[in-house]
Amino acid sequence: MKFTLFSKIRPQFLFVCLLTACVSDTQNAVFDKQQAAKARVDLAIGYLNQQDLDQAKLNLDKALSYAPDYYLVHSALAYFYQKQGFVEQANQSYLTAIDLNENQGDVRNNYGVFLCGQGKFEQAYDQFQHALASTHYYHQADTFENIALCAYAQNNQTVYQENLAQLEKIAPERALQLKSAVK
């Protein structure tokens, strides 16, 4: 009778060997707090869009605990407060986000929209200009449209026309939609 190598091994030893092959090394895994915070922010925005404020706040609080110095968390908190009408908290969160990273055009644009909604038109225009001047900001059409809408709300036809013309250059279909919407 021929014996193979495995037939001479005791079953208990084979079982132990198989178990050790299933163990993974988790000590080398690094927890990226900023990435985890971004994931929580994404979840929070989803919950906000579904009007689930409790879950949105829970995820924003988690994001804040992971990365308290991450501008994106404070920007999302600002949006959360803004949606609820908590003007002072929204304003403070926008300012914190800008202090943490002043070159984020999206934050500047969103803060401009917020300020315009508060009737602070000149401050809003300043934020919009900062957004447009930000490096790596690619949503110029959004900002020109927001400036035009803000100017329309202020009844400032000059600024409205100037920014509508800018919008027509880079997004003609959006300019047409805007013209139709404000008539």
Query: Considering 41, 72, 101, which residue would you say is the last residue of a domain?
Result: 101
Counting Cα atoms < 13 Å in the Cβ hemisphere of 138 gives: 1
Domain that holds residue 69: 33-101
What is the average per-residue pLDDT within 50-56?
Answer: 97
Average pLDDT for the chain: 90
Whether 164 and 132 map to the same domain: the answer is: yes
Structure tokens at 70: 């991450």
Q: How confident is the model at residue 152 (pLDDT cuts 50, 70, 90)?
A: very high
Q: Residue 88: inside a domain, yes or no?
A: yes
Cβ count within 10 A of residue 15 = 10
Q: What is the number of structural domains in the chain? A: 2
CATH code: domain of residue 51: 1.25.40.10
**What is the structure's pLDDT at 108?**
99
pTM of the model: 0.82
Q: Please check the confidence at residue 143 and state whether its pLDDT lies above 90.
A: yes
